[in-house]
Structure 1
Amino acid sequence: MKQFRSLIIAAALVVSATAHAHEPRKGPNGGTLVDAGVHHVELVAAGSEVKVYVSDVADAPLPSDGFTGMAILLIDGKPTRVPLASTGAFLSGPLATPSEGPVKGAVQLTGPDGKTSQAKFN
C-alpha cells in the first residue's frame, strides 16, 4: 500500500511539473513564449510585422533557416492568416492591420526535419 501511495504522489508531481512547463510566459524578445513539441516558440507582434522566434527546450535560440510556418492570429476580432518566412534569427510575416503587444492565435511550424509543431497563444 505504501508503494502504491508513493507511486501516486510521484505521478502527481510529474503531472504538476509538466502542467507548469506548458504555461505561457514572457519571452526574451518581449513576446509570449509557449511550448510547442520539441521547441519553444515566442510570438511578437510589432506594428505591421509578426516575428516568431524558435528555441530548443533549454531556451537556446535556434536559427530560423529551414523552418517554414503559418500564423493564424485574431486581429481586431478577425482571424488573419500570416505566412511566415525565415529571416535568419526568426521567422517573419506581414500584418495587414498593425498590432502591438500580445495577440491570440496559433502558429504552425515545419522544421528542417519535416516535422510539424503547433504553438497556441491565448
Structure 2
Amino acid sequence: MQTRRSLLTTTLVLALPAMALAHGPSRGPNGGQMQDIGSHHGELLAQDGRLTFFLFDGNDRPLTVNGATATAIVLGGGRQQTVTFAPRPDGAALVASGEFRAEPGLRVVVQLTPAAGQPRVQARFTPVDATR
C-alpha cells in the first residue's frame, strides 16, 4: 500500500511541470482570449462588429503595437471575411471592424507582423468560446 501511494505521488509530482507548460486558451487582463502568437502572447476581444487585439511579451508584459501590422480572417454566421487592424491612438492595441456577431462559434485567425523586418506569425482564436 505504501509503495503504491509513493508511486502515485511521484507520478503526480513529475506530471506537474508538463501540465504547467501545456495550456489552452485562457483569459487575459482585458477579458479576452489569450494565445501564443510567435514568441509573443496575444489577447483578442470580440464584440459585435469589432475586434481588439493586445500584444504581450513572453512574460505577459504589455507591448506597444506601434509599427505592428495585422489582419484577421473572421469566420462566423456562415461567412468568411478578412479585416485589417489599425493601431488605437494610445498604441496599446490594434482594432478592426467588420460585419460579424460575437457569438459562440466565432473563429478568428490573426496574422501579425510585430514590427518591420520581423516574420509574420499567426494564431487561431475562439474568443467567445474561451473559458471564463
With normalisation by structure 1, the TM-score equals 0.77
1:20 is matched with which residue? 22
Question: What code does the residue aligned with 1:16 have?
Answer: A
Determine what percentage of the aligned residue pairs are the same residue. Answer: 33
Indicate if the aligned counterparts of 1:37 and 1:117 stay in contact, CA closer than 8 A: yes
| 1:117 pairs with 2:118 | no
* CA deviation vs aligned residue, 1:58-112 (integer Å, no higher than 9, x gap): 0000011010001111121222211111111101111223436783121010011
Aligned length: 111
The aligned counterpart of 1:66 is 67
Give 1 or 2 for the bigger CA radius of gyration.
2
Query: Which residue does 2:5 correspond to in 1?
Result: none
Aligned residue in 1 for 2:96:
93
**Alignment partner, residue 106 of structure 1:** 109
* 1:114 counterpart SS class: coil
Distance 1:60 1:38, change over 3 A: same
Report the Cα distance in structure 1 between the residues aligned to 2:102 and 2:65, rounded to whole angstroms. Answer: 23
Query: Gapped runs of 5+ residues in structure 1?
Result: 1-11
Alignment match, 2:58: 57
Q: CA RMSD in A?
A: 2.5
Kindly indicate which of the two structures has a greater share of residues assigned to strand.
Answer: 1
Give the secondary structure class of the aligned counterpart of 2:124: strand
Q: 1:121 to 1:29 in 2, by over 3 A?
A: same
